[in-house]
């Protein structure tokens, strides 16, 4: 089969490799579509703990081609999405039900074969049947599951005023979920007009178009959006400059959320006095954890909208172009269609 294979950071090839064979508890999937996201850019640079050789791709939808000998309840022809993670169940973190910190975490597309390939094997117990969902919607399950986990972490009180920085797929999904879960006035701030339009169409109460060359004006617009300060500011960009600004924008007792993935070497300076005096809370949210089923519910009911989210489609051979696109502002969501 054809696959994107990394041998080292920044060094990948589109290669022919052996098609995997499903183990007794696995299914073999023909990949229908796989989402490319910012994490794949970090993986490209060797960040986020990749093991080589690596086939990336952690957001995939496939059609079952074959089921392992011990698999029941799934059959060839069904369309599924896959929770790409597997935990050991035995380490200190698993024993505390912190499955996303499993010390022996296996994450397909990060340290195990992922979905930028024609075929992939996945544990049957990690598959969710999505015959009722269009592929274009189902492919967004994993990022939506990450957002649901974020909501588990934040648990915003009803009546909260929340700002989300970033209007990429994650920012747009977060803004919608926050508006459905306690966020009573949700502001989305980002530099790209067409993404803000989507944010507004999907329920953001306020949108602020940021102009990178005019930080003073941005700060003014954001302060005007919530003169008393936001209860929560969520950074869905991974940019330290946003986090610096977030501290100024939250009200006393407020919460700053680092949701976007910053470069591993980035640092963020916070005044401990300010955290103490203003009782600030800083919350991180990493990946997803027991949230696939709830993400699917939100996509099925249409509570979370995704029409028009996918702006770019590429073949496996065009993987380099897909990575370039993901870094550009004209791209909202890029997918690989093997």
- Note whether 37 binds Zn ion by CB under 5 A: yes
Q: Supply angle C-alpha 284, 292, 157, rounded to 5.
A: 50
Q: Which residues pair with 2 in a beta bridge?
A: 16
Beta pairing class for 230-235 and 160-165: parallel
CB nearer Zn ion, residue 138 or residue 225: 138
Contact 163, 232 (CB under 8 A): yes
Nearer to Zn ion, 230 or 319 (CB): 319
Minimum distance, C-beta of residue 29 to Zn ion, in the bound complex (Å): 18
Rounded to a whole number of angstroms, the minimum distance from the CB of residue 45 to Zn ion is 15
Which residue shows structure tokens 């939250």?
250
Partners of 15 in the β-ladder: 3
State which residue, 78 or 324, has the beta carbon closest to Zn ion.
324
Stretch that binds Zn ion, among 37-45, 61-69, 126-134, 287-295 (CB under 5 A): 37-45
For the CB of residue 37, give the shortest distance to Zn ion in the complex, in Å. 3
d(CA 201, CA 78): 33
Residues in the chain: 338
- 173 touches 303 (CB < 8 A): no
CB of 58 to Zn ion, least distance (A): 6
Q: Which CB atom, from 16 or from 51, has the smaller least distance to Zn ion? A: 51
Gap between the Cα atoms of 112 and 121, Å rounded: 10
Any contact of residue 140 with Zn ion (CB under 5 A)?
Answer: no
Six-digit token pair at 287?
């990946």
Q: Which stretch binds Zn ion (CB under 5 A): 36-44, 158-166, 253-261, 327-335?
A: 36-44
Q: How far is the CB of 93 from Zn ion (least distance, A)?
A: 6
- Here's the x/- map for Zn ion, 75-114, by CB under 5 A: it reads as ------------xx--x--x-------x------------
Q: How many residues interact with Zn ion (rule CB under 5 A)?
A: 7
Interacting span for Zn ion (CB under 5 A) from 4-12, 33-41, 167-175, 281-289? 33-41
Torsional class of 102: left (φ above 0), alpha (ψ -120 to 50), beta (otherwise)? beta
Rounded to the nearest whole angstrom, what is the least distance from the CB of residue 98 to Zn ion in the complex?
A: 9
Contact 158/133 with Cβ under 8 angstroms? no
Residues within the interface to Zn ion (CB under 5 A) = 37, 39, 87-88, 91, 94, 102
């Amino acid at each position: 089969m054809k696959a994107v294979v990394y041998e080292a950071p920044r060094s990948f090839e589109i290669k022919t490799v052996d098609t995997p064979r499903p183990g007794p508890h696995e299914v073999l999937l023909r990949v229908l579509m796989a989402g490319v996201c910012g994490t794949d850019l970090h993986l490209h640079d060797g960040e986020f703990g990749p093991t080589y050789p690596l086939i990336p791709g952690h957001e995939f939808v496939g059609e079952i081609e074959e089921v392992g000998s011990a698999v029941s309840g799934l059959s060839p022809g069904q369309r599924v999405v896959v929770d790409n993670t597997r935990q050991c169940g035995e380490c200190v973190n698993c024993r505390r039900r912190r499955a996303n910190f499993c010390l022996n975490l296996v994450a397909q597309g990060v340290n195990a074969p992922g979905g930028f390939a024609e075929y992939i094997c996945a544990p049957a117990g990690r598959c969710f049947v999505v015959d009722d969902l269009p592929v274009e919607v189902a492919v967004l399950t994993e990022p939506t599951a990450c957002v649901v986990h974020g909501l588990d972490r934040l648990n915003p009180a009803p009546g909260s005023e929340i700002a989300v920085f970033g209007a990429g797929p994650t920012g747009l999904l977060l803004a919608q979920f926050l508006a459905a879960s306690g966020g009573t006035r949700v502001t989305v701030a980002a530099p790209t007009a067409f993404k803000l339009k989507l944010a507004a169409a999907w329920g953001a109460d306020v949108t602020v178009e940021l102009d990178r060359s005019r930080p003073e004006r941005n700060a003014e617009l954001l302060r005007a959006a919530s003169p008393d300060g936001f209860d929560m500011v969520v950074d869905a960009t991974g940019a330290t400059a946003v986090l610096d600004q977030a501290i100024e924008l939250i009200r006393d007792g407020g919460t700053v959320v680092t949701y976007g993935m910053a470069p591993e070497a980035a640092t963020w300076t916070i005044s401990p006095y300010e955290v103490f005096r203003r009782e600030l809370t800083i919350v991180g949210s990493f990946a997803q954890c027991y949230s696939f089923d709830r993400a699917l519910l939100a996509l099925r009911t249409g509570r979370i909208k995704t029409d028009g989210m996918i702006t770019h489609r590429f073949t496996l051979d065009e993987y380099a172009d897909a990575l370039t696109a993901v870094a550009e502002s004209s791209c909202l969501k890029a997918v690989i269609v093997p």
